[in-house]
């Protein structure tokens, strides 16, 4: 399950952003459709990877970035890796991303302290 290594990367990136400023309440990530990352499995892996860190217990919110491809010859956009119009290869415009978009921190009383990328 590659979701565990992805979750470990998210935890590492988040920790480098918060730099000891407190506990994290929410982690928001965007996952490209072409990464084939399963959001449910990622949430489970995140739970494991975040244990013992300021991210432990944080809610992982995910959104999917839809795949977008364009023909390298005629410019037609589509979902297939081969152009349905001319048969040429397609270039990926979107859908391979994995982005740490936002962190919500908790102050002692549970209020959001701030956010980061």
108 falls in which pLDDT band (50, 70, 90)? low
How does pLDDT run across 29-47, given as a tens digit for each residue? 999 999 999 999 999 999 9
Residue with tokens 């949430």: 43
Pick the CATH number of 3-66+95-110 from 3.40.1410.10, 3.40.50.880, 3.30.470.10, 3.30.2320.50: 3.30.2320.50
Please report the pLDDT score of residue 20 as a whole number. Answer: 85
Share of the chain above pLDDT 70, in %: 90
- Which of these, 106, 73, 77, 108, lies nearest to 93 by C-alpha position? 77
């Amino acid at each position: 399950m590659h979701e565990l290594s992805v979750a470990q990367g998210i935890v590492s990136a988040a920790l480098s952003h918060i730099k000891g400023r407190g506990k994290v309440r929410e982690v928001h990530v965007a996952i490209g459709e072409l990464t084939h990352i399963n959001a449910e499995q990622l949430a489970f892996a995140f739970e494991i990877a975040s244990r013992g860190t300021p991210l432990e217990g944080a809610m992982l919110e995910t959104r999917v970035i839809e795949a977008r491809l364009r023909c390298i010859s005629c410019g037609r956009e589509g979902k297939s890796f081969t152009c349905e119009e001319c048969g040429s290869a397609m270039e990926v415009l979107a859908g391979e991303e994995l982005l740490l978009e936002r962190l919500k921190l908790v102050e002692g009383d549970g209020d959001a302290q701030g956010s980061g990328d």
